[in-house]
């Protein structure tokens, strides 16, 4: 595709981040500002998954601007681009939870597809009017997922950038659609965009609807640890800061029009993850009355259409751009558990109100099949 490869490394104009109050977005904003890479404008609707408290430590920084708003609002996006003249758009905003996409897909199509379309149109209009180095350096970075590639059998090779798209959940289909739109805007309109497809992230500030923070939160309270189906589904785990650094690398040195897969080479079954978490909690909370935490495991009705295995081949990103994951699964998971233990107030804040309704809706209809013994 396009050969423009000026990168944005030496330019300290602002970047526009969408969805920066969510899990990965807030880690990215904190990491970016800590590295002194220039101002950030964060456009976030603040859905249930967005939490401004994640960014409390930078709230007063002159380099940080928060705008509450919807990426589907074309006039707002156009105004922000004109006002702040960003050198890049880093697009995280999405509905991101597979189970919610099954019980209510509408918001996924709206934000993930229409929202990305709106951003692309606004970005294109903005980019078309840029000249000189502003134009050469501009990037649209679309943060996407490995779920667009579908599911793998146990011996299949890991997903690579040429693996055909085969999304299986409404979430994955909506992200695949957004990837296709980005590709078309590069090809047809010359928008200097790059797509990254990353595997499962974990780390601080992840909303406790996702496997790892949900298991930690439930285990702390002595609640059942709901393992879907047989617990043998495999995910390829990456510590969130490694993902953020990969995105920085791609912004600096990635080739326009390319896709880069991001993953840490940490394939684990869900049951292995839960076992490791329980062992960490046994060690780090020796006074817990719920030890051994593994006894809290409960097998429950599987997720409909549940993908069996994801695995990422990240050799393109590693070989071409020199990125490497720094954190092993063991060190990353320990840091994560320590963070959740030290930030129980954060967990309490986000698990009040609407969260309880979600838990009731998602888990009350799932039959429990077996408990702890089978998990040992
Ligand atoms: P998240 O659900 O934690 O955060 C999403 C953020 O987007 C929230 O702050 C929310 O308020 C905001 N948002 C939602 N709809 C919006 C709208 N219409 N306008 C503006 N803001 C809106 O998600 P996450 O886990 O941080 O994922 C971020 C991105 O990374 C997503 O695009 C997701 O598909 C992708 N991704 C996630 C993972 C993962 O493991 N979590 C892995 C690969 C890729
Ligand atoms: O692969 C990248 C994707 O990873 C991202 O694009 C998504 O935004 C992100 O949510 C994540 O999707 P998963 O569906 O893999 O993540 P989740 O944490 O929901 O589930 C991980 C695995 O754990 C999955 O096989 C389902 C299982 N699970 C999940 C929950 C919430 C359980 O067994 N029990 C549970 O209660």
Q: Is residue 48 part of a domain?
A: yes
Respond yes or no on whether the N-terminal peptide bond of residue 292 is cis (omega within 30° of 0).
yes
63 part of a folded domain:
yes
Q: How far apart are CA 174 and CA 97, in angstroms?
A: 12
Mutate to test the pocket of ligand 2, among 49, 205, 210 (most ligand atoms within 8 A of CB): 210
Ligand 2 mean position, distance from CA 47 (Å): 19
CA–CA separation, 104 and 70 (whole Å): 19
Total domains present in the chain = 1
Q: Is residue 300 part of a domain?
A: no
Average pLDDT of the chain to the nearest whole number: 95
What is the arithmetic mean of pLDDT over 89-103?
98
| Whole-number percent of the chain with pLDDT over 90 | 91
Distance from the CA of 212 to the center of ligand 2, in angstroms? 9
In a domain, 145, yes or no: yes
The yes-or-no answer on residue 146 being catalytic is yes
- Supply 190's token pair: 């010359």
Residue 326, CA distances (Å) to 89, 196, 244, 264, 297 in order: 25, 18, 12, 9, 30
Domain residues for the domain of 169 are 15-206+239-265+306-327
**Is 34 a domain residue?**
yes
Q: Is the CB of 71 under 6 A from ligand 1?
A: yes
Q: Is residue 38 part of a domain?
A: yes
Separation of 98 CA from ligand 2 center, angstroms? Answer: 7
- Confidence grade of residue 1 (pLDDT, cut at 50, 70, 90): very low
Average pLDDT over residues 239-250: 98
pLDDT band at 369 (very low <50, low <70, confident <90, very high): confident
With cut-offs at 50, 70 and 90, classify the pLDDT of residue 4.
Answer: very low
Residue 23 Cβ contacting ligand 1 at under 6 Å: yes
Question: Is residue 175 very low, low, confident or very high in pLDDT (cuts 50, 70, 90)?
Answer: very high
Looking at ligand 2, which residue's alpha carbon is closest to its atom 29? 211
CB 206 within 8 A of CB 213: yes
Q: Which residue has the higher pLDDT, 117 or 11?
A: 117
Over residues 100-129, the mean pLDDT reads 98
Asked if 40 and 20 touch (Cβ cutoff 8 Å), the reply is yes
Residue from 44, 70, 99, 147 carrying the catalytic annotation = 147
Domain assignment present for residue 46? The answer is yes
- Residue 195's nearest CA partner among 137, 138, 255 is 255
Write the pLDDT tens digit of every residue in 7-58: 554 567 999 999 999 999 999 999 999 999 999 999 999 999 999 999 999 9
Q: Is 54 in the pocket of ligand 1 (CB under 6 A)?
A: no
Ligand 1, atom 33, residue with closest C-alpha: 96
Structure tokens at 314: 């990240």
pLDDT of residue 375: 60
Instruction: Give the per-residue pLDDT at 12.
Output: 78
21 pocket-lining for ligand 1 (C-beta < 6 Å):
yes
Measure the CA–CA gap between 22 and 26, rounded to whole angstroms: 6
Instruction: List, for residues 288-324, the tens digit of each pLDDT value.
Output: 999 999 999 999 999 999 999 999 999 999 999 999 9
Distances (CA, A) of 154 to 88, 138, 157, 158, 232: 39, 41, 9, 10, 10
Please report the atom of ligand 1 found closest to the CA of residue 210: 41
Of the candidates 149, 171, 202, 299, the residue annotated as catalytic is: 171
Which helix or strand (DSSP H or E) is residue 249 part of? Answer: helix 240-253
Q: What is residue 288's predicted lDDT score, i.e. its pLDDT?
A: 98
Nearest to 2 by CA among 189, 231, 244: 189
User: Which pTM was predicted?
Assistant: 0.96
- What CATH number corresponds to the domain at position 250? 3.40.50.720
Assess whether the C-beta atom of 115 lies below 6 angstroms from ligand 1. yes
Residue 170 maps to a domain: yes
Q: Give the position, in ligand 2's atom list, of the atom nearest the Cα of 273.
A: 23
Cα gap 59→314, rounded to integer Å: 34
The answer to whether the beta carbons of residues 326 and 246 sit under 8 Å apart is no
Decide if 338 is catalytic: no
Q: How far is the CA of 308 from the centre of ligand 1 (A)?
A: 23
The mean pLDDT value for 202-215 works out to 98
322 CA distance to ligand 2 centroid (A)? 28
155 is catalytic: no
- C-alpha closest to that of 90 among 219, 254, 217, 218: 254
């Amino acid at each position: 595709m396009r050969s423009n490869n000026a990168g944005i490394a030496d330019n300290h104009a602002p970047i526009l981040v969408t969805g920066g109050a969510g899990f990965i977005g807030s880690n990215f904003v904190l990491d970016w500002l800590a590295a002194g890479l220039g101002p950030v404008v964060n456009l976030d609707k603040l859905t249930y998954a967005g939490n401004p408290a994640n960014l409390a430590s930078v709230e007063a920084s002159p380099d940080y601007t928060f705008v509450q708003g919807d990426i589907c609002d074309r006039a707002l996006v156009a105004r922000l681009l004109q006002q702040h003249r960003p050198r890049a758009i880093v697009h995280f905003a999405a509905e991101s939870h597979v189970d919610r996409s099954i019980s209510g897909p509408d918001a996924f199509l709206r934000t993930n597809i229409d929202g990305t379309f709106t951003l692309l149109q606004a970005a294109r209009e903005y980019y078309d009017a840029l000249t000189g180095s502003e134009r050469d350096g501009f990037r649209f970075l679309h943060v996407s997922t490995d779920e667009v590639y579908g599911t793998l059998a146990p011996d299949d090779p890991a997903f690579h950038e040429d693996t055909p798209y085969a999304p299986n959940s409404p979430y994955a289909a909506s992200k695949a659609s957004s990837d296709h739109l980005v590709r078309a805007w590069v090809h047809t309109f010359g928008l200097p965009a790059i797509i990254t497809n990353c595997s499962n992230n974990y780390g601080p500030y992840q909303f406790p609807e996702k496997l790892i923070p949900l298991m930690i939160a439930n285990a702390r309270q002595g609640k059942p640890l709901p393992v879907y189906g047989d617990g043998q589904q495999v995910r390829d785990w990456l510590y969130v800061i490694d993902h953020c650094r990969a995105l920085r690398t791609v912004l600096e040195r990635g080739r326009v029009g390319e896709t880069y897969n991001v993953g840490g080479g940490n394939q684990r079954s869900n049951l292995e993850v839960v076992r490791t978490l329980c062992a960490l909690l046994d060690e780090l909370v020796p006074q817990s009355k719920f030890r051994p935490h593994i006894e809290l495991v409960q097998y429950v009705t599987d997720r409909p259409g549940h993908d069996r295995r994801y695995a990422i081949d990240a050799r393109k990103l590693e070989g071409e751009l020199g990125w490497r994951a720094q954190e092993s699964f063991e060190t990353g998971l320990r840091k994560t558990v320590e963070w959740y233990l030290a930030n129980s107030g954060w967990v309490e804040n986000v698990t009040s109100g609407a969260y309880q309704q979600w838990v009731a809706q998602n888990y009350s209809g799932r039959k429990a099949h077996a408990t702890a013994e089978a998990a040992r």
